[in-house]
Amino acid sequence: MSFRLLLLAVLVASLARLDLSSAECGGDSTACGAPPTNSDVDYLPKNTCYGNTDTVTYSCSGSSTGPSENVCNSGSWGNPSPTCDVFTCARPGVENDVMLTPNKTTYGAREIVAYSCSAGDTLTGSSSATCNGQDEWNPSAAPLCRASCSVPTINNGAVSPTEVTFYEGDTATVTCDSGYGLEAGSSATVTCGNDGDWEDLPTCLETCSMPSIPNTNYAAGGTLDHGQTVYISCDEEYSYQQETVFEVTCFYDGLRYKTVTPTQCYSHCPAWSSPDNGAVVSTNYHESTATFSCNRGYHIENPDDTTTICEDGSWDRTDPNPPNCTALEGTDRVTLVCNSNGFRVLIPLDLMTDQTGGGIHLQDSTCVGKANNGYAVINSEYSDCGTTVQVNNYTKEISYINRVQAEKSTSGITTEVFFDLSIQCIFDQENLVSTNVVIANNITSALGFRSGPVFSLQFYRDDLFDEERAPPFNLYEDDLAYVKIELQTNPGSSIFGTHCHASPASDAFDNVYQDLLIDGCAVDTGVTLLDTPEEIFPKRATAFSMSKIQFKGDDNSIYIHCYAKVCGEGEDCSNSCPHRRKRRNSDGSWYQRVSNGPITWNPEATADRQLDETVVTYLLFGCGVVSTISLILVLYVAYRYFSRKAPPKGESENSE
């Protein structure tokens, strides 16, 4: 029903229009009135009446949609009016590498722009857009020009995924074949760059196989990537060649160790106790040597008992107790020192009635002794003072022989009124020139004696080294500790090659420690070598200052442990610094260990001192203020006093 009504309405309107056109055109039923038009549409020619078959042309200031002409056909126009769009669109917002065709700043209604990229790049997104409304592009999303990377080829490896196109910013993962690994420090994730190349593309290199090293953190072995560095650590109480940590790196030619190549770590030996009246020096490491020595006046009867070697947790000395240091007879206290170019004899003055030392002489009676630090000392070169030479071509030894004598008319040793001691210095004939090594030194079998030197280690209040400090004591945070190691025996000899370290324990071989001096050189930034009042030749002491050292834990106690060597007169004991840091060791040349402590750097004491210093500052300031006020009062009183004594103005002092 509604469709019929709509059709009737259209018919009525057409008849009305036809009647109107006929009326305007003089009743000509074939003529047409004005053509149909829409907004923004114009036409030519413009007439009131158009005859049958007359034509008009439409125009549009924007974009026209529909017929461009219309024809009068027996009283009616043949076409509807076209539409006219007059909106514009600004240039699409795209990246600089996206090219536009046509490329201009303003586009008309319904105009189409095409997108494209430079060679080598790929367009992602729509390839064109249409201006569908005022500054409205369809589609609105701008495309991108993206560089693409081809799937890379990895020697001895592969990349995943593979069946995709990689664009700028996309990532891939590199995996290496069995037996190969990425170079140490490189990443398995790679990124496609903006130039179409992969960034930091790694290489797969042959890995290194770490063998099994018993008693270490690599007891089960392992695998190292090329360039990778790891540290092999011995288990607790184990070592290899007296070291406990080893650095190894995987290179093209396999594993390279920084120092030694450990095959396994060996167990430490139990620590020795010092013999009565003696001392022991040892690290307790595998293949290390424990050296026993006796205090002056004592000796170990069997020379083979002076050393023992650690072999994987067991000492080669079968007796679990240290050797005995037995007392020497008075005559056994005579000491002979054989150097490379001469010898020295030392006889304690307390064995002699002549305290000048001149009561003894060598084969040449003009070579007499002199008193020095409690000893009668005679020095001679091997070509002087009646020294004779014996060469044994069978044993390849050279012996230098002399005699120490005292005449009846002078003095004696112990209960004898006359004595005659034979002395010999024996050298290896073949090594004399190259090494100057003393093979043996003897003063007859009855008088043979070699005892280690004695050192002392003391703390002092300042670098004057004139006031000792006995531990335990506290230091402020910024205070320095002053330490001196001094040779107490061996007159005429020098101290050198001092080695000191700090530890939180009284045991010198505690695993936690900090080196201070090695071979007489400071190896810690807080340590400064100092001169002492005894800095004359021979050098008898090593002194240094040290700043605070803090070990982990609540206890701030610090112990100092030192070793030193002794240099005889005429020997070359020069040493240069800096010295390379190394692990503590004991190779037999360290004669005695000395320790002292504890000392403590106390933060609370520092806070108290700062408070005390603040109080003193305020007290000094208060005293200064009081003094100033007092002076002003004195001056004021003086002024008032002399003002009253002065004569009135205009009167003479001599007026009666």
Split at pLDDT 50, 70, 90, the class of 170 is confident
The pLDDT of residue 199 is 86
For the ranges 263-277, 327-341, 467-481, the lowest mean pLDDT is seen at 327-341
pLDDT digits (tens, 9 = 90+) for 55-73: 999 888 777 888 889 899 9
Fold of 208-266: Complement Module; domain 1 (2.10.70)
The arithmetic mean of pLDDT across residues 72-82, rounded, is 88
Closest CA to 176 of 149, 205, 137, 212: 205
The pLDDT of residue 613 is 57
The pLDDT of residue 238 is 92
Contact 515, 581 (CB under 8 A): yes
Fold of 2-84: Complement Module; domain 1 (2.10.70)
The pLDDT of residue 269 is 92
Fold of 329-447: Immunoglobulin-like (2.60.40)
> If residue 20 lies in a helix (H) or strand (E), which one and from where to where?
helix 2-24
Mean pLDDT (the chain) is 78
The arithmetic mean of pLDDT across residues 589-609, rounded, is 69
The pLDDT of residue 337 is 80
The pLDDT of residue 265 is 92
For the ranges 164-168, 371-375, 503-507, 604-608, the lowest mean pLDDT is seen at 604-608
The pLDDT of residue 243 is 86
Closest CA to 443 of 299, 611, 606: 299
- Going by C-beta distance under 8 Å and a sequence separation of 6 or more, which residues neighbour residue 43? 35, 37, 56, 57, 58, 59, 70
- Going by C-beta distance under 8 Å and a sequence separation of 6 or more, which residues neighbour residue 216? 232, 233, 234, 235, 238, 262, 264, 265
266 vs 572, higher pLDDT? 266
CATH architecture of the domain with range 455-601: Sandwich (2.60)
The arithmetic mean of pLDDT across residues 334-360, rounded, is 74
N residues, the chain:
656
pLDDT at 215 over 80: yes
Tally Cβ neighbours within 10 Å of residue 599: 24
Split at pLDDT 50, 70, 90, the class of 312 is very high
pLDDT at 80 over 80: yes
Residue type present at position 246: F
The pLDDT of residue 322 is 93
The pLDDT of residue 509 is 76
Antiparallel, parallel or unpaired: β 592-601 and 473-475: parallel
Q: Is 525 helix (H, G, I), strand (E, B) or coil?
A: coil
pLDDT at 144 over 70: yes
CATH of domain 268-315: 2.10.70.10
The pLDDT of residue 624 is 74
The pLDDT of residue 442 is 40
The pLDDT of residue 316 is 92
Backbone dihedral region for residue 590 (phi beyond 0: left; psi -120 to 50: alpha; all else: beta)? beta
The arithmetic mean of pLDDT across residues 197-211, rounded, is 86
The pLDDT of residue 83 is 83
482 vs 8, higher pLDDT? 482
Name the percent of the chain in helix, strand, coil, to the closest 5.
15, 40, 50
Closest CA to 441 of 515, 372, 306, 345: 345
Q: d(Cα 233, Cα 235) in Å, to the nearest integer?
A: 6
Split at pLDDT 50, 70, 90, the class of 352 is low
The pLDDT of residue 358 is 72
pLDDT at 429 over 80: no
The arithmetic mean of pLDDT across residues 111-131, rounded, is 86
pLDDT at 4 over 70: no
452 vs 512, higher pLDDT? 512
Q: d(Cα 52, Cα 77) in Å, to the nearest integer?
A: 9
Measured at the alpha carbon of residue 611, what is the angle toward residues 610 and 617, in degrees to the nearest 5? 90
Partnered with residue 272 across adjacent β-strands are none
The pLDDT of residue 633 is 84
pLDDT at 579 over 60: no
Q: d(Cα 70, Cα 80) in Å, to the nearest integer?
A: 8
Burial 424-451 (b: 16+ CB within 10 A, else e): bbbbbeeeeeeeeebbebbbeeebbbbb
pLDDT at 182 over 50: yes
Closest CA to 592 of 285, 272, 304, 293: 293
pLDDT at 18 over 70: no
Fold of 150-206: Complement Module; domain 1 (2.10.70)
Split at pLDDT 50, 70, 90, the class of 568 is low
For the ranges 127-141, 545-559, 596-610, the lowest mean pLDDT is seen at 596-610
In the chain, what percentage of residues exceed pLDDT 70?
Answer: 77
The pLDDT of residue 359 is 75
Backbone dihedral region for residue 570 (phi beyond 0: left; psi -120 to 50: alpha; all else: beta)? left
DSSP 249-298: EEETTEEEESS---S--EEPPPPPPPPTTEEEE----TT-EEEEEE-TTE
Closest CA to 231 of 252, 200, 210, 251: 210
Give residue limits of the domains in the chain: 2-84, 88-147, 150-206, 208-266, 268-315, 329-447, 455-601, 617-656
- Going by C-beta distance under 8 Å and a sequence separation of 6 or more, which residues neighbour residue 301? 324, 326
pLDDT digits (tens, 9 = 90+) for 362-390: 888 889 888 887 788 899 998 899 998 88
Contact 35, 77 (CB under 8 A): yes
Q: d(Cα 460, Cα 482) in Å, to the nearest integer?
A: 5
pLDDT at 569 over 70: no
Q: Is 361 helix (H, G, I), strand (E, B) or coil?
A: strand
Q: d(Cα 84, Cα 238) in Å, to the nearest integer?
A: 97
Kindly state the tokens that stand for 26: 């003089």
Contact 334, 448 (CB under 8 A): no
pLDDT at 148 over 90: no
Antiparallel, parallel or unpaired: β 438-442 and 419-428: antiparallel
Q: d(Cα 150, Cα 201) in Å, to the nearest integer?
A: 13
Indicate the burial class of 4 (C-beta count within 10 angstroms; 0-12, 13-18, 19 or more): exposed
The pLDDT of residue 575 is 65
Backbone dihedral region for residue 25 (phi beyond 0: left; psi -120 to 50: alpha; all else: beta)? alpha
The pLDDT of residue 272 is 92
Q: Which CATH class is domain 88-147?
A: mainly beta
pLDDT at 444 over 60: no
pLDDT digits (tens, 9 = 90+) for 45-55: 988 899 888 99
Do domains 2-84 and 455-601 share one topology? The answer is: no
Split at pLDDT 50, 70, 90, the class of 231 is very high
pTM of the entire predicted model: 0.34
The pLDDT of residue 558 is 92
279 vs 26, higher pLDDT? 279
> If residue 21 lies in a helix (H) or strand (E), which one and from where to where?
helix 2-24
Split at pLDDT 50, 70, 90, the class of 448 is very low
Contact 70, 35 (CB under 8 A): yes
Four-point Cα dihedral 28, 29, 31, 37, nearest 10: 140
The pLDDT of residue 483 is 94
pLDDT at 229 over 60: yes
Q: State residue 638 phi and psi, 5-degree precision.
A: -65, -40
pLDDT at 225 over 80: yes
393 vs 490, higher pLDDT? 393
The arithmetic mean of pLDDT across residues 577-600, rounded, is 60
